[in-house]
Structure 1
Amino acid sequence: MNSMKFLRHSWASGTLGACLLLGCTATTRNTPPDATMQQQTPTAQTAKPRALGVEMKYFDTSVRPQDDFFRYVNGTWLKTAQIPADKGRYGSFIELRDKSEAALRAIIEEAAAAQDTKAGSDLQKVGDLYQSFMDTARIQSLGVEPVRPDLARVAALKDKKDLPELIGSLARLGVQMPFSTYVGQDAKQADRYIVYANQSGLGLPDRDYYFKQEPRFVETRAAYLTYIETLLRLAGEKDPAGGAKAILALETSLAEKHWDRVRNRDREATYNLKSVAELDKLTPGFSWSRFLQAAGEEKTPGVIIRQPDYFQALASTLASTPLPTLKTYLSFKVLDRYAPLLSSPFEEAHFVFYGKTLQGLQENRPRWKRGVETVELALGEVLGKLYVDRHFSPESKVRMQELVKNLRVAFQKGIDQLEWMSPSTKAQAQAKLAKFNVKIGYPEKWKDYSALTIDKGDLIGNVRRSSEVEFRRNVDKLGKPIDRLEWGMTPQTVNAYYSSTMNEIVFPAAILQPPFFNPEADDATNYGAIGGVIGHEISHGFDDQGSRSDGDGNLRDWWTAEDKTAFQQRTTMLADQYSAFSPLQGLNVNGKLTLGENIGDLSGLTVAYKAYKLSLGEQGAPVIEGFTGDQRFFLGWAQVWRTLNRDDALRQQLLTDPHSPGEYRVNGVVRNMPEFYSAFGVKEGDGAYLPPDKRVKVW
C-alpha cells in the first residue's frame, strides 16, 4: 500500500479472479493444462535433514500455541518490530517487497548511469524514465504546466453531449472517470474478449467514507475537501473552495448509487451483457458509441455492465449536474492523477491526504522508491526479465513444480473424500481441477514496449504515453484469440493469483523466497508456507465465486441444488466466524466480503497438509528443534502472516479489502483444522478451541 494512487490504470482492473494479498491486478494463462494429472503420484520427500525454516527468535513462549497461535509464533516480532514511517503496515510481505524494490533499484540505476545505451532500447527507456522522475529541479520549475493540455481539453467542453468523447480520451490516460472500462474475457464465453464497464469516480476509498458519521470519517471528509481545494487553487481555479464543495457533493451523489463491495463480489449479479443500443436506452443522453470510439473499444461484441442501476443513475446525475461543476470535477481528476508527478506543492498535498490521512503515514516514501515504482508500472516486464536473470534460480522453479503437482493430487483426493458432495458434482469439480493451468516464476513470452517513447526531460509525457500504450495493448485484444501466455503480474511482484476465466494459478518469482519458499528449509515448513499459498490459489477456483465457473473459464452452474445448499451452509458458518473478529473498536472483519479469501486460506492449508502427508510416503518426519513435522507445518503458515498495521491503514483494509488481517489468517484458520488440534494438543477451554460441530471444512 502506498500513496501513489495516481498510477492506477483503469485498463488493469478487471480480469483477476483472486490474489493472495491486498493490492493486486491480473489476467491470463500459458501452457496447456496437464492432461495426465490424475495419473500422477506425489514425489516422496528426501530423507536428507533440513533446517527448521522458522525464526524461533520471534516466538513468544509466554503465549500458549493452544490459545493464540499467531502470537505464539510472532509475538516477539510484534512487540519489537516498528512500522517504517513511510508505510501503513509492515510484515513478511512488505519485507520481501522491500527486497524486490532494492533489487530493481540496482537494475534501474545501472541503466540510468549507462553512457552507451541505444536510443529506443529497453535499457534507454528504463534509465531515462527514472531520470525524468528524479530530475526534481526541472519538475519544480514546470509547476502545473505539464498538465495544461489536459486541463485545456476539459475547459474546451461546451456541451454535455460531448462528454462521451472527453471521458473516453481521459480514461486512456488513466484519469479516474465516473466509470471505468477494461477489456477482459467474457465470463460466460471465455474464448472471446469483451469490454466491461464498472462504477468508479470516487476519490475516497469506499462509498462508506462518504456517509459514516463516526469522528474519523467526518475528519477524513474534511481533509479530502481541503485536498480538492488545494489542487484547484494550485491550478489557478477561480473559486477553489466552492469547486471543492461541488465536487464532494457530486461524488457523494455517485457514492449513493455505488454497489457495496459484498454485492460487487457476486459474479452473476455483475454480469449484464448489453448491446450499444441497449446501453443508450439505459443511459439516455450519453452516447456509448461515441464513448467506445474515443476509448478505442468500438470493436467489442457488446458491453458487460457490472452495476446497471448505477449507470442508470449516473445518466440522471450527469443530466442534472451543471456543466461548470462537471468540468471542475474532471479538472480535479486530471490534477489528482498527476499530482505526485508535479511540483512539490502538488506532491505534498497528495501525500498529506492519501498517505497521512488515509493510512497514517508519518512521511512520504523516499523519492527513489517512488521512481522505481514509476518505472516498474511503465516497463514492468522489462524489469521482470532482468530481475529473473539475477534473482531466480531454475532449481526453485523445479521444486515449485513438484510442490504444485503434489498439491493438485492432494486436492483431487480431497474432492473424492468429501462426505457432503454428490458423485455428479464431484465429477464436475474433478474435471475443472484437471484443466487448471499453472505458471511459475516468469512469462514464456515477454511484453513488447517498442511502441513506448521515453524522454528523460518529459516525466508527465512519459507517464501519459505509457498509459496510452498499455490502454492500447489492452483494447487491441478485441477480436483476437485469447492470449494464453500473458501474465497479469510481473515476476518481481510479491503475490500470487488465480484467474477464473483462464482457470489458472500464477506464482511470480519474487514470492518464491523465505519465509514463503526456502530451499534450505524442511519440507514440512515449506508445505505450510508456500504449500499453503499454492493451496490458497487452487482453492480460489472452488471458493464461493470461483466455483461458479467451469474448467473452461465459463460462468455456469455445475452444482446440484443439494450440493450447492450444503456448500453454502459451510461458507455461511465461515463468514459468521470471521464477522465476529474485531481488530479495531467499532469495526469488525466483514465475513461476507472476505469469504473468498478465507475459503482460500482454510481450504488451501487443508489441502497443503494433505499434500505434505502424501509427500512423506512411507517415511516418518523427523523432529527438528523439538518440533514434529505436523507442528512445523503450522509454524510455516503462521510466520508468513506476521503483520503490524497503523489504525488508519487497518480501518481502510477492513472497509475495502477482501483479505482478512494477518492475525485471523492464522487463528481463524487453524481452529477449524482437526490436524492442528492433534499437532498441539488443543483441548476444550483453550483459546483456539472450537466445538467439533462449529468447525468448518469446505474442501
Structure 2
Amino acid sequence: MSADNHAKPDDDKGEPHENDKCMDDGHQRRPNEGMSKLRAQVTSAVANIPSLVIVLLCVLLLVFFVIIIALAVQVHSSGSSEPPRCLTATCLATAAGVLGSLDAHADPCVEPYALACDGAPSPLAGHRSRLDAQARLRHSVHHRLRHLVDLVPPNAPETSAASKVKRFYETCMEPRGLTNDAVAVFVHMARQAGGWDLIRTSAWSMQSWDRDTTLEKLIVGLGVTPFFRITVASPDVSVIRVEPAGFAFPSYEYYADGAPKHQKELLQAYRQLIEKVTDHLRDVPASRTNSAIADVIINYERRLLERLRPLGNLTEPYRKTNVAGLKGLVPIIKWDQLLTAFFQGQSITNETPVFLSQPHYFQGLSQIISTTDTTTLNHYIMWRMAMKYAPHLDKQVRSLYYRFMQTINGAPDVDVPEEEWWEQCARHTSHYLGHAVGKLYSDTLEGKELLVQQAREIAEQVRQSASDRINSVAWIHMKQPLKDKIKDVQFQLGYSRELTDKKLDDYYLNLIVKLGSHLDNVFEAEKFLTMKQAALLRGRRDSKLDEMWPISPQDTEAIYQYEKNTVVVPLAALQKPIFSLDQHKALQYGSFGSLVGSLMFKTMDRTGMDMGSQPVFSDNATRNDYQAKLRCLAESYPSLSKEKDLRINGQLTAGEALADVAGLVAAYQAFKERANGMERLPGLDWSPEQLFFIGYAQSMCESIREERVVNWNATSTSAPNRLRVLQTLQQVPEFAAAFQCSAESEMRRNREPCYAW
C-alpha cells in the first residue's frame, strides 16, 4: 500500500466536508454529547443487569407463593367441613342479636350460661322478681293488644266478640269502673253466694248458713275453689278431673311450726293480708277480731295441707276412678248435686270417669270437714272468694294483694306503679276473652302461615330424631312403648285457621260484658268460663274450640297436655328468641327444637309415664333404672349461688331435667342431620354446632331474684333457667365436643355424668 493511501484518511479529517462548513460550533458538539449519554445509559444498564435479574426473580417468586397459597386455601376449603359465612342483611341482624347477649369474656367450658346471657343482663324493675323470654314476649303482646283494642270500631255490633273485648278492656281501664262501688259489688255477690260473718245482713245468721249451697254457688257460678277444683281432664273420653285447691301456699312446709325463717316470713305476710283485707271489707261487727280470723284461716289451711303429700314422695299421684268411687271417698260432699249443677244439661252417673289427683288428700277430706265448726268453715270458704277477686277490687285491696304477691315472689315490698294497671287490664282481658283476643292478634300478624309451617317441620324432625335416639338408650329395656307414645304425640301449633268472626261471635254469645263495672264483668266472665269448661265433658259442638286450643294464640308459654299427649305451642311463642323465620337454622333447632323436645319427653315423667293405654315403662328393670337416673340428676345440680352454697330441691325438678336432656339431644341430632354446608354468621367465630348450644342457652336467659327461688324451692318442679342450662349441658357430651372442652374444664371436672340419655 502506497504512502498516499495511508495519508488520505488524515487528510479527510483535517479538511471539513462542504456541508460541515455550514455548521457552527454548537452543531458540531451535539452528536458527540448524545453519543456520550447513550454510552453512559448502556453502560449503566449493563452494570444493573444483576439487580434487575434479582428483582425479576423476586416478583416471580412472590407470584409463585401467592399461587401456592391460593391453591392451598382452595384445597383446604374443599376438604374442610368449615362452612362459608352468610353476609346477607338477615344474617347480619341475626348475628347482632346473638352478640347483644353474649359475654365475650366468658369461657363456654366454665360457664356457658354466662357466655350466652351475661353480655346484656336485664335489670329487674323494683316490683318484679323474674324476667325471661316468655315474660318479654308477654309484655310485647300486651302492648300489641292495647293497640288492637283501639282499632276496634266504636260502632262495632255489641254482640260481636271484638266489641266485647273492647268493652271489657276499656271498663277495666276506666277508673270509675275500678273504684265505683267495687267493694259494694263484691259484698252483694258474697251475700248472694250464702253470706259471710264479716258482711252479714240483719236477716243472716251463722245457723242459717248452708255450706253445700255456698260451695255450689261459688264453684259453679264464681269460679272459686275451696277444698278442690273441678275441670275436664280429657274431652276425648269424657273424664272429670278433681284436684286439691284452696290454699295460699302449695305445701304444708310453709305452715309448719318448724319452717325456715323465710317461710315463716311469708306466712306472716299472709296473716297481715288477711287482717287488712277483712278489716277493709267488714261492714258489721264480727264475732271475731281480724287477727283471730287470720288465725282461723291459716290453721285450717295448715290442717288441709297436712293431707297433701310432698310431690317428691308421691307414691300415687293420681287415681282413675268414677263418680261412685269419688262419693265413697269423700261422702261429706254432695257430689251428685254439685256435679249436676257444674255440668248443667249433661248426664252425670255413678259410672262417669273421674281422674283424681292426690287421692291421699281426698281420703282425709271428709273427716276434716265433718270435724270443723261452722264459723271456721264460713271464714275459710268466703276468704277463698276474697282472694279470688282481690285483683279486681278497689285500689286499696289491689295494692294489698299485689304487695303480698311481690313478697312471696321475692320482689321488694314496693307499690306496683298504678300507671302499669293497663298491663293488668290487658292480662285480664286476654284471660277471660282468650279466643277473641287471639283472633285479633293472629289476624294482624303477617307471615304466620309460613312461620307455623316451618315450626311444624322442625317439630316433626325432632320427633323422628327422638324416636331414633331411644334405640341407643341402654337403660330402657323395653323401648317400643315409649317409641309408640312419641310417635303418637300431636303438635298443635300457632292458631286456629277455621275460626271465623261468625264462629267467634257464636262462641261468646252468652258472655255479658257491660260498660260501668269491671267487677261485674269479671263475675260474668267467670260464670262463662265455667260453662265452657263443663261443655268439654261430652265434646259438645260449642266446645270444639276449647278442645283444640286449651291456650290462645297470644299466650307465650308452650304446654304439654298429658291426657291428650299433645304439645301446644301458641303463635306468640313463635317469636324471637324462641323461633322466627329469619333465625339461623342452628338457633332455630337450639331454641325451638329443644323446647319441643323437652315438652315431648314429658311423656315419661312421673305424671306422663302411666298415662294412656299402656305405661311407657312397663318392666321393673326399666322403672328401677329410671328412678336411679332421676336420683343422679337430682344430686348433680350446681349451686344456685356462687357466693353461697344454696341448692335447689332436685328431687322435685329431676323429671324436668331428664326431659330437658332428652329433648336437647333429639334437637341436636335433628340439627346435625341437616347441618352440612350450613353457613356461619358474620362477625362470630362460632361454628354452627356451637351456635346451636348458644341458641339453646339464649332462649333460656333469665333474670330472677334469689329470694324468689328460695321462697318456692320447697314446691317448685322447675329449676331456675341458669341451673337448667348448666345441668343439661353437663349431661350432653355433644356440648363438650362442640366447644372442645378438656377433661379438666369446669363443665367436665368433678361432674359425674348420669348417662341419662
d(CA) in 2 for partners of 1:623 and 1:245? 61
**Structure 2 Cα separation of the partners of residues 247 and 567 of structure 1:** 41
Q: Which residue of 2 aligns with 1:175?
A: 224
CA spacing shift, 1:244–1:544, aligned 2, 3 Å: closer
> Which amino acid in the other structure matches residue 168 of structure 2?
L
After TM superposition, the score normalised by the length of structure 2 is 0.79
- The equivalent residue for 2:622 is 563
- Residues 517-596 of structure 1: pairs in structure 2 closer than 5 A: 517-549=579-611, 553-554=612-613, 556=615, 559-578=618-637, 588-596=647-655
Q: Write the distance in 2 (CA, Å) between the matches of 1:247 and 1:664.
A: 36
Aligned to 2:301: 251
Cα deviations across residues 508-562 of structure 1 (Å, max 9, x unaligned)?
Answer: 111111111132232112211111112112222234442333xxx3353553333
The match for 1:94 is 135
- Tell me the alpha carbon deviations over residues 129-181 of structure 1, each in whole angstroms, 9 at most, x when there is no partner: 11221222343230411112332133258569942332122013122312212
Shift of 1:93: 2.3
Mapped pair 1:514 → 2:562: no
Distance in 1 (CA, whole Å) between partners of 2:85 and 2:108 is 28
- Whether 2:367 is the aligned partner of 1:321: answer no
Tell me the CA shift for residue 272 of structure 1: 4.3
What is the rounded CA distance, in whole Å, between the counterparts of 1:630 and 1:90 in structure 2?
Answer: 28
Contact 1:495 1:507 in 2 (8 A): yes
2:690 to 618, 631, 645: 631
**Which deviates more from structure 2 when the two are superposed, residues 573-582 or residues 504-513?**
573-582
Q: Are the aligned partners of 1:498 and 1:540 in contact in 2 as well (CA < 8 Å)?
A: yes
Q: Which residue of 2 aligns with 1:32?
A: none
SS at match of 1:684: coil
Is residue 2:348 matched to residue 1:299? yes
Question: 2-side partners of 1:286 and 1:427: how far apart?
Answer: 43
2:262 aligned partner: 216
> Cα deviation per residue 1:444-463 (whole Å; 9 max; x = unaligned)?
45462111010011222211
Equivalent in 346, 350, 360 of residue 397 of structure 2:
346
In 2, Cα distance between equivalents of 1:46 and 1:194: 55
The alpha-carbon deviation at position 234 of structure 1 amounts to 1.3
Aligned-partner residue type, residue 300 of structure 2:
L
- State how far apart, in whole Å, the 2-side matches of 1:292 and 1:223 are: 36
Indicate the residue corresponding to 1:456 in structure 2: 515
Per-residue deviation at 1:583?
Answer: 7.9
**2:638/2:723 contact within 8 Å kept:** no
Moved more, 659-668 or 479-488: 479-488
1:488 to 543, 550, 556: 550
* Structure 2 partner of 1:401: 456
Residue 42 of structure 1: aligned partner: none
Give the structure, 1 or 2, with the largest relative contact order (CA under 8 Å, sep 6 or more).
Answer: 1
Contact 2:638 2:726 in 1 (8 A): no
In 2, the alpha carbon distance for the partners of 1:221 and 1:457 equals 36
Deviations 1:201-236 (A, max 9, x none): 212353322125322222222221111111211121
What does the per-residue CA deviation read over 1:398-454, in whole Å, with 9 as the maximum and x for residues that have no partner? Answer: 2112211221221122123334434xx323233222222111111245462111010
| Equivalent-residue separation in structure 2 for 1:85 and 1:460 (angstroms) | 28
1:28 is matched with which residue? none
Stretch deviating more after TM superposition (56-65 or 333-342):
56-65
- Give the aligned partner of residue 98 of structure 2: 55
Distance 1:368 1:48, change over 3 A: same
1:262 and 2:323 are equivalent in the alignment: no
- Larger proportion of helix: 2
- Asked whether the equivalents of residues 317 and 607 of structure 2 are also in contact (C-alpha less than 8 Å), the reply is no
Aligned partners of 2:456 and 2:85: how far apart in 1?
Answer: 19
Q: CA separation in 2, counterparts of 1:294 and 1:166?
A: 13
Structure 2 residue aligned with 1:121, among 151, 157, 160? 160
Residue 586 of structure 1: CA displacement? Answer: 7.3
Q: Which amino acid aligns with 1:398?
A: Q
CA distance in 2, matches of 1:558, 1:226: 48
The worse-fitting range, judged by mean Cα deviation, of 288-297 and 679-688 is 288-297
Say which SS state the counterpart of residue 238 (structure 2) adopts: strand
| 1:382 corresponding residue in structure 2 | 436
Give the partner amino acid of 1:146: V
Question: What corresponds to 1:285 in structure 2?
Answer: 332
Distance in 2 (CA, whole Å) between partners of 1:251 and 1:160 is 24
The CA distance in 2 between the partners of 1:68 and 1:667, in whole Å, is 8
Equivalent of residue 84 in structure 1, options 118, 125, 129 = 125
Distance 1:435 1:87 in 2: 40
Residues 686 and 614 of structure 1: CA distance in aligned 2, closer, same or farther (over 3 Å): same
Alignment match, 1:334: 385
Task: Return the letter of the residue paired with 1:541.
Answer: T
Question: Which of 314, 318, 321 pairs up with 1:273?
Answer: 321
- Kindly provide the amino acid, as one letter, of the partner of residue 138 in structure 2: R
Give the distance between the partners of 1:162 and 1:608, measured in 2 at CA. 56
Cα distance in 2 for residues equivalent to 1:554 and 1:600: 21
Distance 1:518 1:59, change over 3 A: same
> Using the alignment, how far apart are the partners of 2:658 and 2:631 within structure 1?
11
How far has the Cα of 1:646 moved from its partner? Answer: 2.1
The worse-fitting range, judged by mean Cα deviation, of 557-566 and 98-107 is 557-566
Letter of the aligned partner of 1:179 in structure 2? F
> Counterpart amino acid of 1:633?
F
1:231 to 257, 262, 277: 277
SS in 2 for 1:475: helix
The question of whether the paired residues in 2 share the 8 Å contact of 1:164 and 1:288 is answered with no
CA contact 1:573–1:696 (8 Å) conserved in 2: yes
Structure 2 equivalent of residue 72 of structure 1: 115
2:240·2:355 contact (CA, 8 Å) conserved in 1?
A: yes
| Match of residue 37 from structure 2 | none
How many corresponding residue pairs?
A: 637
- Are 2:284 and 1:241 aligned? no
Structure-1 residue corresponding to 2:489: 436
Q: 1:330 deviation in Å?
A: 2.1
Distance 1:157 1:151 in 2: 14
Task: Give the SS at the match of 2:231.
Answer: strand
Could you tell me whether the CA contact under 8 Å between 1:536 and 1:601 is conserved in 2? yes
C-alpha distance in structure 1 between counterparts of 2:638 and 2:371, whole Å: 40
Which amino acid in the other structure matches residue 295 of structure 1?
F
- More displaced, 220-229 or 155-164? 155-164
Q: In the alignment, which residue of structure 1 is the partner of 2:468?
A: 413
Matched, 1:139 2:178: yes
Assess, with a 3 A threshold, how the Cα gap between structure 1 residues 580 and 454 changes in structure 2: closer, same or farther: same
CA distance in 2, matches of 1:557, 1:159: 53
1:153-192 alignment runs, 5 A limit:
153-155=193-195, 162-172=210-220, 173-185=222-234, 191-192=236-237
User: SS of the counterpart of 1:655?
Assistant: coil
Deviations 1:348-382 (A, max 9, x none): 11122122454315332611001101111111111
* Helix, strand or coil at the partner of 1:440: strand
Alignment-derived partner of residue 3 in structure 1: none
Instruction: Give the secondary-structure state (helix, strand or coil) at the position aligned to 2:319.
Output: coil
Alpha-carbon separation, structure 2, partners of 1:66 and 1:98 = 34
Q: Which runs of 5+ in 2 are unaligned?
A: 1-82, 196-203
- Specify whether residues 162 and 530 from structure 1 end up closer, same or farther in structure 2 by C-alpha distance, changes over 3 A only: same
